[in-house]
Structure 1
Amino acid sequence: MPTRPTRTERFMMGTTLSTLLAASCASGASSGSGVSSAPDAGAPAPRAPELLAFALQEGAIHNHFFRRGHIAAHLLVTSGVSPRLIVAFPAGNMGIAAWFDALPAPVELSVEGGVSGVERPGGMLGVSALLVSAAPALRVHRLVLGSIRTVREVGRDGELPAWLRADVEAGAAPAGGPIAVRRTTLDGEHHLELLIEPLDGTTAALGLDGRVELAAGPRGLRFRVTALSDEAPLTPVPLDEIANERAGDDPRHRQALAFLTYREKLLAGSWRFLTYFGRDTLLAVRMLLPVLEPAVVEAAIGSVLDRLSPEGEVAHEEAIGEYAALLRLAAGRAGAQRESIYAQRESIYAQREAGHAQREAGHALREPIHDYKMVDDDFLLAPLAAEYLLGSAPGRARAAAFLARRTPGGATYAQALARNVALVLRLAAPFAETRDVRALIALKEGESVGEWRDSEEGLAFGRIPYDVNVALVPAALRASARLLGSPLLGAGPDEEGSARAERLARAWKDAGVFFRVELPEAEARRRAGAYAASLGIDPAPVVASLSGTLSFPAIALDGEGRPIPVMHSDDGFVLLFTDPPPEALEEIAGRLVRPFPAGLRTPVGVLVANPAFAPDPAVRGLFTAGHYHGTVTWSWQQAMLAAGLDRQLARGDLSSTSRARGALERARSALWEVIRASREASTWELWSWAVEGGRYRLVPFGAERAHHDESNAVQLWSTVYLAVRP
């Protein structure tokens, strides 16, 4: 460990220097093979902290995950012409990140010898790793120490606000290091630290502009980085308490799930979404339900109930720690609601210095702030709750005790769940009563996102999403009928409420007719062939796969109720949550079997969108292989399709000789063929593709400059292959 420098040079890291620290939350311990966990206060005897340490490569990104006791962190380094270091902590969703200046040629930046845990007096916890590179020198372009949300927003080239400044201490020349970067959070209560210790002849210094500069020694660049935070750790769930004996034995998925599983909540993904997301939690647990231990299921559902709004809305995402403090300080300034958040932040640091960081408007600055702008998650809670509490033996046995627990606001879980059920019925009533397309569930006023395709262009700027209206609302109504018809939500069954929910569900059964798109065979062939040729794909097999009238559901309706003709993978919601008629099952199966762009299948994955049949080139331009919700593959969407196909094949009303069953079986076989072909990427959030020499090649999302974002190496709902298997 580096000692304190004998001579100190201090620089304020404002617009001249930046540290990209990847957000993360506190401790954890149990995952993967040989994982370990922090002591459980309820256990009869304390258990020694187990070690969870594993690595995943995502193209040029090398990801290293570490969890032992109270220490949990995700360290990643990126090679190429723009090297990068990020350390994300589940504790407080905090992180440390550094981007290096662009280089004339790509270089490898990697970790040698793995990652180790570090625990300092005063609660500073983190990880340390030896970084090596053949580059002659690296110069830090940007440094950020703060919330992962801040890291996501500032990004590589975003403006670095002055309030993010940090102290830099450099050792005296000619020793050339070490260098320490330290920052105190806005509330003055917590700290982040990055130590850079040059080794084996490598030197580290601060340039005249205050930027960290590393120069190689005889063995190349070799320097140790240590990243620390004193945020309160989360409570890890031991590996052997996460999944039961029915779970798959893939160590990668077990490790990924363990790194994201804590008693307080399940985390959505790392590095970019290392905290609670309601939709991600509900969908992942719904698919993992057969293999999860009851305590993990209840931790997940409980985390959602704890964050419900007074009206029963499910919280989408939470702002915690420093990011919550930042939002409160910004909102406290005059006219904050009319200003860009970044336009307000230059004075925030001064506010802290003036002593106003402890409390604002009578609220603790760090009290979590919950986001309720999404509409899909409101209809996911009841189906999961009904399936667990009424449909599984462990859930039925534990239901009374679980629903007697209380939220932070004092309501029982039964009362909180009843609020959500009442919301579902209230939101569903207008369409059921009028059959007016304008009464379908739309994105909230003023919002451009509202369901899982939550990039700005994910629905082609549509307002009424297919998945919510055709699958989730009917499913939530049927689940609500089951819950109301049981004694779980009150003193006894609410037969009248249950009957009302059933009537509403029947009225929503045919909502899909509003989304139906039909094209004559000749026109479908013309559009598919032209689009394939524009992408360098051989159009002959694409065109040959189309016969007869082409029918598919629109991805969304616009504000006037007109279908937006983009084919998509949200059939998975229909398969998993509803019981479509046989002819609808045949159509869905056809989209999974036909090659893109006649359908959705490529050799490296099922695509989540296909704009080939949209006549407007502007719409087609919103769904490229570089868009977050474009012609790309999301791992969990493939898993949901697989789970949904299995559910439909288990129906008793499809005879063994029916056309629908045969179509579903062919679709299942085709789907698992591409799932196996993309197995290396299965824990990733998403991936893209390229065509070279007439063949598809899997491309990590974020590897190309044309990609609009990047993927997480581990994603909660991408671990569901532990339960979804061929």
Structure 2
Amino acid sequence: MHSFIAAVLTVVLGICLTNAMPQSVEHLEACGDTFYIKAKYTCYEGKFLCPVLNDKPTLKCSQDCYLPEMYSATTSASAPPSASCSNEATGFQLSDPPNDNYFYSDCHSASQVVMTSPLSDNDLTLMGPRLLVAWPAGNSDVVVFFQPQNGVNGSLSISLQNSTTTGNALDPIYEASSSGSPMVGVSGHLKLNSSAILTIPILGSIRTIRDFTEGPSLLRPSIQDAIKFAEIGEGKISLPRLWLDNETTTTLSFAPASQNGSVEVRDRAVAFEAGTYSFNASFNYPQLEQLSPQEVLNQHSQSLMSQYLDQAQSPSLSYSNKLLAGAWRFLTYFGRDSMITMLLMEPVLSTGEGEHHIHCSAYDYKMINTDYFLPVLLVDYFIKNAVGRSRASEFLSKRATENPANYELTYRQLALLNAEKIMNASAPFAVSGGQTKENLIHLREDEIVGEWRDSTYGLGGGRIPYNVNTALVPADLRAIGALAEAGFFPEHPEWNQTARNYAQVWEDNSLHFFEVNVPQSEARSLVDNYVGSNSFPFVSRSQDINSSAPFYGLALDGNNNQTLVRVMNTDDWFRLFFLNTTNDN
């Protein structure tokens, strides 16, 4: 059985820690005129490199490389894998107007399609009709925005229609290739109730699309200019885009599926008459291996699959080389979110023999809180969990292979580097007389995000997060003390006591910086104003507020010269979950 918990640890230890040593020249081998890392490539004939995929070396065949279980070497081309799947495809729909979500997954790929058709009471200045297709592989997706040709905002509605041939909302696309990854994706049928213009297509990463839909409508010329608009005959149009890797191509195409349908390219826009259109969304990026619910859940929790049949039959968000934070906006990798998931769900998650590697897409990780989750996770798995205890030595002796900065360091060395970083960062606040705001943990310089509220305004511009300083740091220090006591850090036996002493200082002296106490009269006025300004169909009942309102603010040093960001929040759960405090009011 795959180990879900081991996967999370592999992510953070093996790949995404940034406080590691630089790679040195002696780690590189020569292959002809090229230098390579032996864990990542195999050199054939002294001059030809083939990559290691899923921990398996690929073999050379003429000028190509292949995995024996997927291809066979012949004197001509390699035979592509079969388009058929031994396992049944899964798919389901979730409706949350104005959005309809459709999911499809088989052995080749997984896709999510979101159809947005605004309702009459939606703010049409912020929302319009759109079609979005997202893929976990490559953290990539396609989104196109429509406007009515008649110019009357709100008159255009779009919907996904079941195929008259298969009866399905979505059908798979699979086109084998003898020289690279197959073209995979989904096809469907889009119905437009009136003539429309496709005004903006974006074929890029999840982050590229979120920068447009959630940020200041950013469009990146390097992405947009690469989209081609082409009429390809038989009334069809195609929008392909070659990725920056010069290998992967994403393509979105439309064709009339009803007699009254007509589609044509107009400069860098596409015009549609009212009608139904088939669409194909596909790309040729290497796909992910899904983990089944049986692999994610431990033996004692297998019954959950029958209790929650819909969830068990839905496409998984867990893969052999990536654990997803969610869909579609969170198809990117977040090591922090995976660790939170494990800590909350460990009683039902699998542990065992198999370990699979998760690859991080970026090494310049901005989040400060990932470092502070790791020691807590190590204690939870390698000290409190019997299976983890039996595997600690083997697991921590593994060597990092993905991030060149960490190459050849063992997971234990990386865990030590992380612990040393935390001890050094927390020491100024923990020493006598050091309990000042300046010695609290800050976001990284020139970064506006750094913990789980990672949207632009998530912390109200705050530089010193409440949850990191009052919960994660003391919990982390206690975990380092426990790890030191168990012999994980023989270089620092003093941490057994020092880390625990630091933890107590942080636990007892960090809360007061974030205290907010709103007087009764002000609290009543704030509630009245909030209900009134939002036109809620109920009275405020502010008279029920019979005392002042105490809470802890989000962060210190916020936008507009806020000393304390006075926003009520849910981050108290970090302290309640991670600490067994006695001095909290």
TM bucket (normalised to shorter chain) is 0.7 to 0.9
1:442 aligns to what SS in structure 2? Answer: coil
1:72 aligns with 2:110: yes
1:161 aligns with 2:218: no
Unaligned residue ranges in structure 1 (runs of 5+): 1-26, 28-38, 308-317, 319-368, 585-726
1:100 aligns with 2:150: no
Match of 2:96 among 53, 58, 82: 58
User: Does the 8 Å contact 1:532/1:542 carry over to 2?
Assistant: no
Cα separation, partners in 2 of 1:406 and 1:75, compared to 1, 3 Å: same
CA distance in 2, matches of 1:533, 1:79: 29
CA distance in 2, matches of 1:195, 1:454: 34
Cα separation, partners in 2 of 1:501 and 1:56, compared to 1, 3 Å: same
- Show the counterpart of 2:159: 109
Deviation at 1:472, TM superposition (A): 0.6
CA deviations on 1:664-686 (whole Å, 9 max, x unpaired) are: xxxxxxxxxxxxxxxxxxxxxxx
1:287 aligns with 2:344: yes
CA deviations on 1:361-406 (whole Å, 9 max, x unpaired) are: xxxxxxxx32322222221111122112211222223322222222
**Greater relative contact order (Cα < 8 A, sep 6+):** 2
1:558 aligns to what SS in structure 2? Answer: strand
- Show the counterpart of 2:176: 121
- Show the counterpart of 1:232: 286
CA distance in 2, matches of 1:296, 1:179: 50
Deviation at 1:63, TM superposition (A): 1.4
Match of 1:243 among 294, 297, 312: 297
Cα separation, partners in 2 of 1:550 and 1:203, compared to 1, 3 Å: closer
Deviation at 1:502, TM superposition (A): 0.7
CA distance in 2, matches of 1:561, 1:97: 38
CA deviations on 1:122-146 (whole Å, 9 max, x unpaired) are: 2333233332425132321122223
User: One-letter code of the match for 1:83?
Assistant: P
CA distance in 2, matches of 1:441, 1:561: 18
Question: Residues 350-389 of structure 1: matches in 2 within 5 Å?
Answer: 369-389=362-382
- Show the counterpart of 1:577: 578
1:483 aligns to what SS in structure 2? Answer: helix
Deviation at 1:98, TM superposition (A): 1.6
- Show the counterpart of 1:645: none
Cα separation, partners in 2 of 1:581 and 1:254, compared to 1, 3 Å: farther
Match of 1:191 among 249, 256, 268: 249
Match of 1:259 among 303, 316, 326: 316
User: One-letter code of the match for 2:321?
Assistant: E
Cα separation, partners in 2 of 1:555 and 1:210, compared to 1, 3 Å: closer
Match of 1:503 among 501, 504, 526: 501
2:574 aligns to what SS in structure 1? Answer: helix
- Show the counterpart of 1:223: 277
Cα separation, partners in 2 of 1:69 and 1:261, compared to 1, 3 Å: same
User: Does the 8 Å contact 1:130/1:225 carry over to 2?
Assistant: yes
CA deviations on 1:389-434 (whole Å, 9 max, x unpaired) are: 2112222233222222221112222221222111111111111111
User: Does the 8 Å contact 1:130/1:222 carry over to 2?
Assistant: no
- Show the counterpart of 2:10: none
Cα separation, partners in 2 of 1:159 and 1:448, compared to 1, 3 Å: closer
CA distance in 2, matches of 1:561, 1:512: 18
Question: Residues 323-722 of structure 1: matches in 2 within 5 Å?
Answer: 369-408=362-401, 409-433=407-431, 434-487=434-487, 489-490=488-489, 494-510=492-508, 511-536=510-535, 538=538, 541-544=541-544, 546-558=545-557, 562-581=563-582, 584=585
- Show the counterpart of 1:150: 208
CA distance in 2, matches of 1:213, 1:526: 52
Match of 1:211 among 269, 277, 302: 269
1:290 aligns to what SS in structure 2? Answer: helix
CA distance in 2, matches of 1:76, 1:469: 38
Match of 1:274 among 321, 324, 331: 331
Unaligned residue ranges in structure 2 (runs of 5+): 1-53, 55-67, 71-83, 119-123, 163-167, 402-406
Cα separation, partners in 2 of 1:543 and 1:425, compared to 1, 3 Å: farther
CA deviations on 1:569-589 (whole Å, 9 max, x unpaired) are: 1111111111233863xxxxx
Deviation at 1:466, TM superposition (A): 0.7
CA distance in 1, matches of 2:557, 2:222: 41
Same amino acid, percent of matched pairs: 31
Cα separation, partners in 2 of 1:565 and 1:297, compared to 1, 3 Å: farther
Deviation at 1:266, TM superposition (A): 0.6
1:566 aligns to what SS in structure 2? Answer: coil
2:137 aligns to what SS in structure 1? Answer: coil
User: Does the 8 Å contact 2:556/2:562 carry over to 1?
Assistant: yes
CA deviations on 1:93-152 (whole Å, 9 max, x unpaired) are: 222222112463141422422212221022333233332425132321122223232223
CA deviations on 1:158-202 (whole Å, 9 max, x unpaired) are: 445265333333244xx5x22222222223212222232221314
1:270 aligns to what SS in structure 2? Answer: coil
Cα separation, partners in 2 of 1:549 and 1:410, compared to 1, 3 Å: same
CA distance in 1, matches of 2:267, 2:437: 60
User: One-letter code of the match for 1:193?
Assistant: T
Deviation at 1:297, TM superposition (A): 11
CA distance in 2, matches of 1:252, 1:153: 32
Deviation at 1:482, TM superposition (A): 1.3
User: One-letter code of the match for 1:269?
Assistant: G
Cα separation, partners in 2 of 1:236 and 1:163, compared to 1, 3 Å: closer
Deviation at 1:501, TM superposition (A): 0.8
CA deviations on 1:536-557 (whole Å, 9 max, x unpaired) are: 455563431x334432112212
1:294 aligns to what SS in structure 2? Answer: coil
Cα separation, partners in 2 of 1:268 and 1:496, compared to 1, 3 Å: same
CA distance in 2, matches of 1:195, 1:230: 15
User: One-letter code of the match for 2:426?
Assistant: A
1:138 aligns with 2:196: yes
Aligned length: 468
568-577 or 551-560, which deviates more: 551-560
User: Does the 8 Å contact 1:263/1:296 carry over to 2?
Assistant: no
**TM-score in terms of structure 2 length:** 0.73
CA deviations on 1:630-666 (whole Å, 9 max, x unpaired) are: xxxxxxxxxxxxxxxxxxxxxxxxxxxxxxxxxxxxx
- Show the counterpart of 2:21: none
Deviation at 1:451, TM superposition (A): 1.5
1:371 aligns to what SS in structure 2? Answer: coil
Deviation at 1:526, TM superposition (A): 4.1
User: Does the 8 Å contact 1:205/1:212 carry over to 2?
Assistant: yes
Deviation at 1:494, TM superposition (A): 4.8
1:213 aligns to what SS in structure 2? Answer: strand
